[in-house]
């Protein structure tokens, strides 16, 4: 689901401005048909899997607010463009495991479990809990800023020079707390600052009639990091240690 509002305006014969606002949301919900632990019987070959599906996406929810403004000025042989972009991104990752919760070492899990059935010389077989999580929801947030300035400079009839500079700043935030009880002081921040990205392009028309050219381009670029990183690396996702039982 997305909405966009744009504005383009001509201030004068040599000044153009652009502005936009965009909002998008994306939700993923999964509901398994069987709510049971996932069992993998390793005593036989091939292994037999019964019960529920185990891991599933209970409900991922993302929202993105984007604000952008650009301006273009024509100054003699120069066409100067500059602008700013800000994005406010929220991503909630809610993962679960099928089956009832269980208590391990005095702690109750928030999810079901993935269980392996193993042969044992003393009991004949044991049940080993390999996966069960103590929390379900991880709330993340991202602030992204970008500013750019670029010139299109016509030098005579054949040479065009396009210098430019872009700056980007990104802050990733992760937490294990519920969205409605989030404490800003407890957030884990991972800032990515001072991302300067210069670029230059040169075009020369060899014949001068627009039918041939020699050109050179150089640029430095930074990749955006998605909020899946703070959901996994900046938010606690405690799971059980191996827990075994003969029944």
What confidence tens digit (pLDDT) does each residue in 202-224 have?
Answer: 999 988 777 789 999 999 999 99
Average per-residue pLDDT in the chain?
A: 88
Please state, in angstroms and rounded to a whole number, the distance separating the CA atoms of residues 154 and 182.
Answer: 54
DSSP 239: B
Number of alpha carbons in the 13 Å side-chain half-sphere of residue 92:
19
**Residues 46, 49, 53, 54, Cα dihedral to 10°:** -100
Does the pLDDT value for residue 178 go beyond 80? no
Does the pLDDT value for residue 62 go beyond 80? yes
Looking at residue 134, what is its pLDDT? 87
Looking at residue 179, what is its pLDDT? 40
Most distant pair of Cα atoms in the chain: their distance: 90
Q: What is the mean pLDDT of residues 33-54?
A: 95
Looking at residue 79, what is its pLDDT? 96
Looking at residue 63, what is its pLDDT? 94
Looking at residue 18, what is its pLDDT? 97
Determine contact, residues 170/192, Cβ cutoff 8 Å: yes
Does the pLDDT value for residue 226 go beyond 80? yes
b/e burial code for range 125-143 (CB count within 10 A of at least 16 → b): eebbbbbbbbbbbbbbbbe
In which element (H, E) is residue 80 found?
strand 78-97
Interacting residues of 33 by C-beta distance below 8 A, sequence separation 6+:
none
Specify which residues 214 forms β-bridges with: 204
Looking at residue 184, what is its pLDDT? 45
pTM above 0.75, yes or no: yes
């Amino acid at each position: 689901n997305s909405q966009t509002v744009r504005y383009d305006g001509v201030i004068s014969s040599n000044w153009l401005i652009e502005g936009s606002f965009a909002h998008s949301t994306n939700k993923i919900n999964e509901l398994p048909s069987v709510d049971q632990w996932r069992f993998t019987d390793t005593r036989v070959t091939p292994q037999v899997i019964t019960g529920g599906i185990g891991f599933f996406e209970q409900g991922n929810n993302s929202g993105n607010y984007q604000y952008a403004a650009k301006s273009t000025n024509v100054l003699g042989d120069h066409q100067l463009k500059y602008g700013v972009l800000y994005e406010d991104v929220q991503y909630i990752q809610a993962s679960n495991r099928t089956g009832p919760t269980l208590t391990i070492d005095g702690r109750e899990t928030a999810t079901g479990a993935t269980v392996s059935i193993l042969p044992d010389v003393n009991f004949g077989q044991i049940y080993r809990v390999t996966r069960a999580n103590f929390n379900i929801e991880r709330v993340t947030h991202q602030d992204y800023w970008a500013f750019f300035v670029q010139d299109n400079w016509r030098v005579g009839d054949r040479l065009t020079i396009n210098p430019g500079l872009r700056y980007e700043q990104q802050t990733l935030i992760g937490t294990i707390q519920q969205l409605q009880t989030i404490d800003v002081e407890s957030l884990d921040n991972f800032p990515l600052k001072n991302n300067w990205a210069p670029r230059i392009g040169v075009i020369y028309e060899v014949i001068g009639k627009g039918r041939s050219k020699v050109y050179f381009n150089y640029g430095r670029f930074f990749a955006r990091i998605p909020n899946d990183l703070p959901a996994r690396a900046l938010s606690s996702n405690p799971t059980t240690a191996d827990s075994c039982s003969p029944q």
